[in-house]
Amino acid sequence: MDSRRRVPRTDAVLADPRLTEATLRLGRGTVKSAVAAAQERARRGEITAECVADAAVAALPPHATTLRPVINATGVLLHTNLGRAPLSAAARDAVLAAAGCTDVEYDLATGRRDRRGRGTLEALAEACPAAEAVHVVNNNAAALVLAATALAQGREIVISRGEMVEIGDGFRLPDLLVSTGARLREVGTTNRTTAADYAAALGPDTGFLLKVHPSNFRIEGFTAQASVRELAGLGVPVVVDIGSGLLAAEPSLPEEPDAATVLRDGAALVTASGDKLLGGPQAGLLLGRADLIERLRRHPLARALRVDKLTLAALEATVRGPRTPTAHALHADVRLLRQRAERLAKELTEHDALAVESAARVGGGGAPGVELPSAAVSLPASYTEPLRRAGIIGRIESGRLLLDLRTVPADLADAELARRIERAVAAGEERPCM
């Protein structure tokens, strides 16, 4: 008999109690697709007919989304490919609370419409008193697009040649700004731009001066740049893209600009990211003069760039709530990291594990060139794929897989992490049901 005839029918496989439960949790379409894939494997002879249900169960995602939670052991605090800043418990709780119907634009006291996200805006304003007003959009690129469109469409934006940056995934700041209908007036050189260069470029068509923090690279040597304080004295609005999202100065990153300082130095408008050093969800923050913020808020484009209730909830909880996972990672005690690495290596002695020194970094376009002393567990490079498939992401260095513990939450017990690693390695060695 043709072995393909022995492949069980779809309804028979779906009757398996495990798949019946999964249908309620994940939806019939997802489960049926897993069953069809398992049946096809059986037809090709990769598994036996008796293994179809088991294979379908094994292929099911844990949640009704293709996004999988991972353990960031790369040593990069804000890893763009891994979603940048992990949300705090307070922010996750806020997202869950806001998942249903909320008063996002409704005043419960009067029964009338109210300003969208007013609690989040109040929280941001309280966290950065130097700002007269604040606004929130999708991301930092959206914040710059809104500013350029509302303040400089058909006019000139004066910018240093040394700050014409590429912000990731091939997106270049000049292209982004020109797409709004503004014209760029480049001044200075790659390595040296002075306040006099900006002043010489001013004219009746100047919309604003733009100063961009080169957050993903450094220029060293014979360099010069104009300060925000110098530019603020030239008589036109100064917009500053600080990038990484610090609302106040961070002593451990003295060269990273923050909104409060930049605004006190005279910036009219500051743009920043919510999902970087602030430690919140993806969002673009706009802080500055009340008249400019109101112009941006009232511009038609603001509607297209507005954030949803889940982002508003997570952002407010991030600003008002306890220290974020990003802050914990940034300020982690190196001695404790070494102790964790030694404990974990001891748990994994049979896997050629070693506790080693490591150097973490901020990532996400923040604090370029800054190394954060850390500790890691070194494992054979052959473990990279099975651990990656299990959602444990490290980095290869000197032919070994490093799991840097600065970016692994301290509330994940070392023993539990060791068990996950052992299960992942074992799963990579197991032969599939045949």
Give per-residue pLDDT as tens, 227-272.
Answer: 999 999 999 999 999 988 899 999 999 989 999 999 999 999 999 9
pLDDT tens track for 41-84: 999 999 999 999 999 999 999 888 889 999 999 999 999 999 99
Please name the residue ranges forming H helices in 241-308.
259-264, 290-298, 300-304
Handedness of CA 145, 147, 153, 158 (dihedral sign): negative
- The DSSP call for residue 87 is P
- The DSSP call for residue 224 is B
What is the pLDDT, as a whole number, of residue 1?
A: 46
- Report d(CA 331, CA 336) in Å as an integer: 11
- Report d(CA 79, CA 101) in Å as an integer: 32
CB 392 within 8 Å of CB 403 = yes
Encoded tokens for 63: 């949640």
Helix/strand/coil for 285:
strand
Specify the amino acid at residue 94: A
Q: Which residues contact 170 (CB under 8 A, 6 or more apart)?
A: none
Query: All domains of the chain, ordered by start, with CATH?
Result: 3-59 (no CATH), 71-83+327-429 (3.90.1150.110), 89-322 (3.40.640.10)
Half-sphere exposure of residue 311, counting CA atoms within 13 Å on the CB side? 18
What is the pLDDT, as a whole number, of residue 72?
A: 97
Residue listed under structure tokens 């470029």: 201
CB burial string 107-124: b at 16+ within 10 A, e below: eeeeeeeeebbebbbebb
Local confidence pLDDT in tens for the 434 residues of the chain:
455 678 999 999 999 999 999 999 999 999 999 999 999 999 999 999 999 999 999 999 988 888 999 999 999 999 999 999 999 999 999 999 999 999 999 999 999 999 999 999 999 999 999 999 999 999 999 999 999 999 999 999 999 998 888 876 777 889 999 999 999 999 998 888 999 999 999 999 999 999 998 766 677 777 788 999 999 999 999 999 998 889 999 999 998 999 999 999 999 999 999 999 999 999 999 999 999 999 999 999 999 999 999 999 999 999 999 999 999 999 999 999 999 999 999 999 999 999 999 999 999 878 888 999 999 999 999 999 999 999 999 999 999 999 999 999 988 888 899 999 999 998 876 655 65
Q: What is this structure's pTM? A: 0.91
Residue listed under structure tokens 């890893």: 79
Is beta strand 166-168 parallel, antiparallel or unpaired with respect to 238-243? unpaired
Helix/strand/coil for 133:
strand
Q: Taking Cα atoms as reference points, which of 336, 242, 235 lies closest to residue 285?
A: 242
Is beta strand 392-393 parallel, antiparallel or unpaired with respect to 395-397? unpaired
- Report d(CA 318, CA 90) in Å as an integer: 7
Handedness of CA 171, 176, 178, 179 (dihedral sign): positive
